[in-house]
């Protein structure tokens, strides 16, 4: 699918990355998940996003913090208005894969892209030539999706040439050093789905969506495919 020329918030996403800490270390432990919850504190109708580089972090948590920072920045500018019920849906709790907003984002498979498609938050596509810095990018290191997948939730920063090798630059929480940029040969990426934020006001649709996305919830135990993942994300 080709990217459209609709309004996007890529510049805003990149601004939030600049304000994130650098370094720390990568972990998917229970402790890392608890620290993620505490770094996105919700009080009096506002998110206070204060991640620490000293805390362990992981990829989907890192990209989600940037996402809700962008949402909070738009609210602070008066460009976005949500009722309390919608804001409460953004809170990171102990949601299982596929449950609510965070549970969708954090799920195996195309979690972010599935959320964008389901709520109409923006465009999903898989063409690197259409990608722009600030697009969310789910990397699949192999063609496996679901139970046996090896993936990475990132934010695309651009392409570069390193000693004649085409490389992909991205930001995330990376193994082993945590928050920061990384560059990998394009040939190492088996597949990627890009998600471009265009209509964040549609987050309100979560209130009428099923609590659990059954496709994403199944991917801890079941195998999917690149083709099915693309279909589920509107590609």
CA atoms within 13 A on the CB side of 145: 23
- % the chain with pLDDT above 70: 97
Range scoring the smallest mean pLDDT among 27-41, 135-149, 190-204, 205-219: 27-41
Given a cut of 60, is residue 34 above it in pLDDT? yes
Yes or no: say if 132 and 155 are a contact pair by the CB < 8 Å rule: no
Encode 167-203: b = buried (16+ Cβ within 10 Å), e = exposed. Answer: bbbbbbbbeeebbbebebeeeebebbbbbbbbbbeeb
Yes or no: say if 137 and 151 are a contact pair by the CB < 8 Å rule: no
DSSP-H helix ranges across 77-110: 84-89, 100-105
Of the candidates 129, 104, 99, 131, which has an alpha carbon nearest to the alpha carbon of residue 117?
104
Given a cut of 50, is residue 217 above it in pLDDT? yes
Distance from C-alpha of 190 to C-alpha of 93, rounded to nearest angstrom: 32
Range scoring the smallest mean pLDDT among 26-35, 106-115, 139-148, 221-230: 26-35
Q: Where are the domains of the chain?
A: 10-232
Q: What is the pLDDT of residue 6?
A: 56
**pLDDT (mean) for 176-181:** 94
Q: What is the pLDDT of residue 137?
A: 98
> What Å distances lie between residue 137 and 51, 109, 149, 176, CA to CA?
21, 12, 15, 20
Distance from C-alpha of 169 to C-alpha of 155, rounded to nearest angstrom: 9
**pLDDT (mean) for 215-233:** 96
Given a cut of 70, is residue 187 above it in pLDDT? yes
Q: What band does 51 get if pLDDT is binned at 50, 70 and 90? A: confident
Given a cut of 90, is residue 47 above it in pLDDT? no
Q: What is the pLDDT of residue 2?
A: 41
Q: What share of the chain is helix, strand, coil (3-state, %, to 5)?
A: 35, 30, 35
Place of tokens 């090896």: 150
Q: What is the pLDDT of residue 48?
A: 86
> What Å distances lie between residue 212 and 125, 202, 218, CA to CA?
24, 18, 10
Q: Is the pLDDT higher at 60 or at 7?
A: 60
Given a cut of 80, is residue 1 above it in pLDDT? no
pLDDT of 77-136, one tens digit each? 999 999 999 999 999 988 999 999 999 999 999 999 999 999 999 999 999 999 999 999
């Amino acid at each position: 699918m080709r990217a459209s020329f609709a309004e996007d918030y890529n510049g805003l996403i990149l601004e939030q990355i600049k304000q994130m800490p650098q370094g720390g270390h990568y972990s998917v432990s229970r402790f890392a998940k608890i620290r993620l919850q505490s770094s996105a504190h919700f009080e009096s109708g506002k998110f206070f996003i204060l991640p620490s580089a000293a805390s362990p972090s992981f990829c989907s948590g890192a990209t989600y913090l940037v996402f809700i920072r962008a949402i909070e920045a738009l609210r602070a500018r008066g460009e976005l208005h949500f009722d309390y019920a919608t804001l409460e849906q953004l809170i990171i709790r102990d949601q299982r894969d596929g449950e609510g907003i965070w549970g969708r984002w954090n799920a195996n498979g195309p979690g972010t892209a599935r959320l964008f498609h389901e709520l109409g938050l923006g465009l999903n596509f898989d063409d690197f030539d259409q990608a722009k810095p600030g697009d969310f990018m789910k990397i699949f290191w192999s063609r496996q999706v679901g139970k046996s997948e090896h993936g990475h939730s990132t934010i695309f920063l651009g392409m570069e040439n390193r000693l004649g090798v085409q490389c992909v630059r991205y930001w995330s929480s990376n193994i082993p050093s945590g928050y920061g940029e990384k560059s990998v040969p394009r040939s190492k990426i088996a597949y990627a789905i890009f998600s471009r934020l265009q209509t964040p006001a549609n987050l309100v649709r979560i209130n009428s969506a099923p609590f659990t996305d059954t496709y994403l919830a199944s991917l801890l135990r079941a195998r999917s495919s690149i083709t099915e993942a693309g279909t589920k994300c509107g590609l």
